[in-house]
Amino acid sequence: MFTLAMQKRLRSIALRAVIVVVGIVLCFLAFAYWYDSRGQRPDPQFDSSVRHPAYTDTGPEVLFDEAHQNFHTTETGYKPFADLIRNDGYRIRANREPFTTSNLAGVSILVVVNALGANGHEARSAFTDAECAAVAAWVADGGSLLLVADHAPFGSAARKLAEQFDVKMFLRYARDDENSDGDNERPVFSRSNGLLADHPITEGRDASERLNRVVTFTGQSLTGPAGSVAFLKLGDNAYDWESRKVRPSGTRKALLFGTVRAG
């Protein structure tokens, strides 16, 4: 039989439990608000106009992958990119099928951005062996691949495809305490700090397109094969971070983005 004292004690325990749960929920909401305030969002004010389009008639076809649980699509995070290349004369088409020889036929450029493994297994490969082989053969035959893989788990999901081109992904979070924009996961690459290299992509077609400073939002470090070009180079003291593990990168060539010429 419950005594009055026991009932009061149970009510007190229940009240404390409710307070704890409410506190956890409030902390979660506060974190979600904070993360959203600094998270990845497209800039709706970005000027995607092109004064002198590269193609004024029928431009090359760009296939933008949306078949592999992609975090970014042409209508969400990469909409400004899609608008920009359309305005430059490229024909962009969303892909919603596995990669095969037939659906890559006639495509000039394949864009894969932040693919993920199946739901619940996001870090597993987003691509089958057959898909990786089809893309590798297509690149060897002259196709151009733009493969973007952010910080974990995106690197793990894209690693199998990257390995087709001897690109090694370090699968973590790249940090630079010395060259950053107020946050060590926002590294700065500029002409002045020597981390932004001369390259057709950074030079542009004329002076109006020349890049002098690039700030990235998190990301992972990469190394490319012989013949690849690092034009956003991590500093000598940049490192890869995961939980409490820090691995200096000074013993290897580190970069955030590279170009690989295959075939």
- 70-106 pLDDT per residue, tens: 999 999 999 999 999 999 999 999 999 999 999 999 9
pLDDT tens, residue by residue, 125-134: 999 999 999 9
Reported confidence tier of residue 250, pLDDT bands at 50, 70, 90? very low
Amino acid of residue 26: L
How confident is the model at residue 83, as a pLDDT? 96
Q: Is the pTM of this model over 0.85?
A: no
- Whether 114 contacts 147, CB under 8 Å: no
Q: Which two tokens stand for residue 50?
A: 């092109």
Residue 58: alpha-carbon gap to chain centroid:
29
Half-sphere exposure of 19 (CA within 13 A, CB side): 6
pLDDT tens, residue by residue, 34-78: 444 455 677 878 899 998 999 998 899 999 999 999 999 999 999
Q: Is the pLDDT of residue 139 over 80?
A: yes
Residue 164 backbone phi and psi in degrees, to 5: -60, -20
The DSSP call for residue 180 is: B
CA 149, 155, 159, 164: dihedral to nearest 10 degrees?
30
Residue 77 backbone phi and psi in degrees, to 5: -65, -25
- Whether 235 contacts 195, CB under 8 Å: yes
- Kindly list the structural domains of the chain, giving each domain's residue range(s) and its CATH number in brackets, ordered by start: 45-165 (3.40.50), 167-263 (no CATH)
**Residue 184 to residue 191: CA distance in whole angstroms:** 19
- Whether 30 contacts 22, CB under 8 Å: no
Enumerate the H helices of 90-205 as residue ranges: 101-104, 129-140, 154-163, 200-203
